[in-house]
Structure 1
Amino acid sequence: MLLLNLLLQTGALLLIYQQTSGLKLRLWQLLSFIPLAGLGLWLPDYGIYLMALVLFYLYGLPAFKDRQYLALFFSLYTVSFFSLIGNILDSLAALAPIYNILEFIIIPVPVLLNLVFLKVANPNFRLLHAAYELPVKAMLQVINSVLALLLVAEFSSYFLQALDRDFSALRYVISGIFFAVMALLLLYITMKIRLMQADQIKELRRAQLAQLTTYTQQIEGMYNEIHEVRHDLGNVLVSLQDSIANQDLPAITQIYNNVIAKYGQPLQNSKFNLTHLSNLKIPALKSLLSAKIISALGLNIATSVEIEAPVVDCYVELVDYLRILSIFLDNAIEANASVADPQLNIAFIAYDQPQQLVVIIDNTTDQTDLNINQIFKPKVSTKTGDHGLGLAIVKELLDRHPNLMLQTTCQDGRFRQVLTSTPLGGIPSL
């Protein structure tokens, strides 16, 4: 019976860890917890928790890209939450005459309570991964210290109760205090993450407004230019009508060569590609793309945009998606700076079956010896001064989203990025 109890506790710990961290442990990692339950037969009451804490930390460290404070947070949170809630429920169940039955029934309760907390509070723990540097790292240090102290105090109560049975009554009070501290800590984490989200959204909206302003000004310029052409052509048509009526062929030829033919050039200008953005149904994405296109046109880069089908979803967190595309487009524009005939081609291809969005960014470059495997590493760059971090950030963002796939090629003076996104659970394909 004890072994079954330990196996159930181990399973509950695994569920809470995966619910909270978002990690899906591999089969061999899950199987490694089975011997842990067996060792619990010979270890103290808190022994299984300490070993689970170590395993969660070791398995989480590579998954969180060596963000040790974040890996430690999810480990401490899992063990302290399960231990605290389980201890309170176990103490209450011990008062009932059917404790032998209740001790098995209460084991999944912490899992359900954690699920309720995640659904109701909805803390975006992924944001802690994305914004790991200060002040997040400092915040995690404080939170981890509090959780560690809670665990030490909780485990000490096990030891004291084993020495003195009269300690049980006091342990109820201590558990109540620990529960209040844990609740306040969860409230603090939730509020802190929401404030970070609000700041992120505010910054995104500010950037979107600036891009939208630029986009609107460009559209107004296009409208004025078209209106001017329309007005001039109206006058030309009157002159042309008179020449046709008089069958004055030299005058007709002169009007065509000197007036009408030249008006084809403004309408062929690549800035009119902005009209293709109407198929982008994501306002923030449209604003970003329009701003980058206008920037490229201002540098006399021949720019083309193809968006044949409506784009309504990018299938990943929008902030991360915009960040990736912004880095790609900035790099493409910069790569054209030293090219004799600069070109930038952008295409959005939305598929229904299977659902996926493919973005192709193709640009000219004077680089002929790029090592594709190296450019995504931190401080490895084709820019002067070895200060490039953009593609390293892209690599981190791609690692965070399994439904994103990137294909990068560089040959014959052209650099191409193909980014494919699918609904979560789908398999990106090119």
Structure 2
Amino acid sequence: MIDMLVFFIIGLCHIVFYVYLIGYHKFSWGSLILLSFFMTVFLVFLVSYTGYPEFNAIIVILFLLCVGLVKYKHGLTIVQSFYFASMSLFIISLAKTIIPKLLLELWLLSDLSLYVSSFSIIHLISVSCILLIVVVKRESINHIADYLIQSPFYYISYASLLLGNFLLIILSSPSMSVLNTFHQKYSDLSYVISLLLFLVLLFFFLLSSHLFKEKVIQARKETAEQELLSYTEKLEVMHEELASFRHDYLNLLLSLDEGVRARNIDLVEQIYNDIIKPTSTIMNHKELELVKLARIKVPEIKSIISVKVIAAHQKNVSVTIDIPHAIDRISIELVDFIRAISIIIDNAVEEASVSEKRELTIAFFEMEGEQKFIVKNSCRQKSIKLSEIYQKNVSSKLNDTSDRGYGLFSLKRIVDSTPIISLETVFEYPYFTQILSVKSRPFKNES
């Protein structure tokens, strides 16, 4: 009974580790347990029926590849899926080989008696510890994909994993004559090489992590410089508009002064209705809307929204901003949030600028433990296939034949890779609405 539980937990470790690697967080624990149960039953039946324990590795790889099908439409390739499946197989298999040996040594050093059942208990404790470590370190595991896939050591680590899994098959006491011969002659050497490969992979990961962070820092710096340049250009445009407005307003005052001096009420009324009243409406709806952004206390977010709003004004889009309360912090990585809202607002401004109503509404508030960022824009399409707009190379713009179908696809990848983010899309002609929800959690003071 204990041995079956050990097999089940090992299968669960493989699946959970793999799911965290590919960055898919939609599976419930019930689904993961059910998948592990089916894989365990199938493995036990196959190995018992054939007598070939080496089939364990092959079946685990194939099973994990099938689980990865849920991510293929979100950009995961079969090559990457096989890479992550191999990594799950190697790391978990090596851990369940090393940790029981260490626990057994500790058991022998203690005053505890050693029984036949003790070995099963040691294995149960070992695999339970592995599962606990995987769950606790899920965020770090999730980052491994980003670090290694974009690393210059990707292909070297790929080859190391394949070699490592082959050595672990040799260590599994295979029944095939060729593999069994290797096991009898080189089992000790295979064990040592497997440990060395693990250390090599760990080195690659740490180095890749360092390179990736440097790349992110550089990307953030370049983005900040670009946004600052754009912001400066927008401010120059606003300064020119203000100077033009000042000139026109002085002329207005002169005309008004002439009407007052001549006691020409008709002229005064005409100037008010034709110039002053429309100007007041424009000021209240346009420039003063930007004042509401002062409630956002995160400078980077306030700056990027300001730039986008000014760009919308330049395209003659009417912008309404609703930020009822102060926004002090964001509970996810700031760069991910900025990328997400930039994609949403850019798409909204572009579509609103060619629509009949030319309207854009931006709302940002906190409610029931969640931050809501809502963008609603008028659009010209009378129907939109919401199930297709997040696919790669598919654009939400009408008659769009360019290469711009990556924005919403990238947005979906950000949402899928971050467990506390959800995205809701609503279309009710003539308005298209994106609702980005971020659940609250202990905040990071990162910029």
TM range (shorter): 0.7 to 0.9
What's 1:11 paired with? Answer: 9
Question: What residue is the counterpart of 1:210 in the other structure?
Answer: 226
What residue in structure 2 maps to residue 104 of structure 1?
Answer: 121
Deviations 1:274-324 (A, max 9, x none): 221122233332222111112112223222211111224554444333323
- Name which of structure 1's ranges 112-121 and 335-344 shifts more when overlaid on structure 2: 112-121
Map 1:305-344 → 2, pairs under 5 A? 305-339=321-355, 342-344=358-360
> Is residue 17–residue 134 contact of structure 2 (8 Å, CA) maintained in 1?
no
Alignment of 1:21 with 2:19, yes or no, is yes
Work out whether 1:415 is the aligned partner of 2:425: no
**Residue 153 and residue 165 in structure 1: after superposition, are their counterparts in 2 closer, same or farther (change >3 A)?**
closer
Question: Contact 1:347–1:359 (CA<8 Å) still a contact in 2?
Answer: yes
Shift of 1:35: 1.0
SS at match of 1:32: helix
Superposition pairs of residues 66-81 of structure 1, within 5 angstroms: 66-81=76-91
Matched, 1:405 2:423: yes
The structure, 1 or 2, with the larger RCO (C-alpha pairs under 8 Å, 6+ apart) is: 2
Q: Distance in 2 between matches of 1:180 and 1:407?
A: 49
SS at match of 2:68: helix
- 1:121–1:367: structure 2 CA closer, same or farther, 3 Å change rule? closer
Q: Residue 276 of structure 1 contacts residue 306 of structure 1 at CA under 8 Å; is this kept in 2?
A: yes
1:191 paired residue number: 207
Query: Residue 244 of structure 1 aligns with which residue?
Result: none
- Over the aligned positions, Cα root-mean-square deviation in angstroms equals 4.4
Aligned to 2:445: none
1:47: Cα distance to partner?
3.5
Instruction: Give the corresponding residue for 1:59.
Output: 67
Write the deviation string for residues 382-409 of structure 1: whole angstroms up to 9, x where unpaired: 2432544122333343444454031221
* Equivalent runs, 1:20-59 vs 2, <5 Å: 21-22=19-20, 24=27, 26=31, 27-36=33-42, 38-39=44-45, 40-42=47-49, 43-59=51-67
Q: Deviations over 1:28-74 (max 9, x none)?
A: 31320341463344544444343223222221232454432333233
Structure 1: which amino acid aligns with 2:302? K
- Checking the alignment, whether the CA contact within 8 Å between 1:215 and 1:291 is kept in structure 2 is yes
Matched residue SS, 1:87: helix
1:182 is aligned, of 193, 198, 218, to 198
| SS of residue paired to 2:389 | coil
SS in 1 for 2:373: strand
In 2, Cα distance between equivalents of 1:131 and 1:266: 52
| Structure 1: runs of 5+ lacking an equivalent | 241-246, 425-430
> In 2, distance between residues paired with 1:81 and 1:261?
73
For residue 68 of structure 2, what is the amino acid of its counterpart? Answer: G
Alpha-carbon distance in 1 for matches of 2:39, 2:320: 55
CA contact (8 A) 1:124 1:193 kept: no
Unaligned runs of 5+ in 2: 442-447
Please point out which of 262, 275, 286 is paired with 2:302: 286
**Structure 2 vs 1, CA of residues 131 and 343 (structure 1 numbering), >3 Å: closer, same or farther?**
farther
Deviations 1:69-92 (A, max 9, x none): 333233222221232233345567
Give the structure 2 partner of residue 428 of structure 1.
Answer: none
| Aligned twin of 2:379 | 365
Separation in structure 1 between the aligned mates of residue 103 and residue 437 of structure 2, nearest angstrom: 53
Inter-partner Cα distance in structure 1 for 2:208 and 2:233: 38
C-alpha contact 1:88 1:175 (8 A) present in aligned 2: no
Q: Does 2:156 align with 1:156? A: no
CA distance in 2, matches of 1:384, 1:121: 39
Residue aligned with 1:347, SS:
strand
Map 1:289-300; keep pairs closer than 5 Å. 289-300=305-316
8 Å CA contact 2:426, 2:433 repeated in 1 = yes
State the AA in 2 paired with 1:415: F
**Structure 2 length normalisation: TM-score?**
0.72
| 8 A Cα contact 2:316 2:353, kept in partner | no
Contact 1:37/1:48 (8 A) holds in 2 = yes
**C-alpha distance after superposition, 1:242-281 (max 9, x if no partner):** xxxxx99949999999799588467436133222112223
Task: Tell me how far apart the structure 2 counterparts of residues 252 and 350 of structure 1 sit (CA, whole Å).
Answer: 51
Contact 1:13 1:78 in 2 (8 A): no
Asked if 1:392 corresponds to 2:404, the answer is no
Q: Cα gap change, 1:316/1:145 in structure 2, threshold over 3 Å: closer, same or farther?
A: same
Question: Secondary structure, in 3 states, of the residue corresponding to 2:380?
Answer: coil
CA distance in 1 between partners of 2:428 and 2:146 (Å): 31
Matches within 5 A, 1:231-310: 250=263, 261=276, 264=280, 267-268=283-284, 270-310=286-326
Conserved? CA contact 2:103–2:122, under 8 Å: no
Amino acid at match of 1:4: I
Distance 1:200 1:118, change over 3 A: farther
Question: For residues 202 and 256 of structure 1, do their structure 2 counterparts lie closer, same or farther at Cα, with a shift above 3 Å needed?
Answer: farther
* 2:361 alignment partner in structure 1: 345
Letter in 2 for 1:377: Q
For 1:120 and 1:409, the matched residues in 2 are separated by 39
- The worse-fitting range, judged by mean Cα deviation, of 42-51 and 178-187 is 42-51
Quick one: distance in 2 between partners of 1:126 and 1:166?
A: 35
Contact 1:360–1:419 at 8 Å: present in 2 too?
yes
- Counterpart CA distance in 1 for 2:153 and 2:69 is 18
Q: Give distance in 2, aligned partners of 1:401 and 1:122.
A: 10
* Partner SS, residue 404 of structure 1: strand
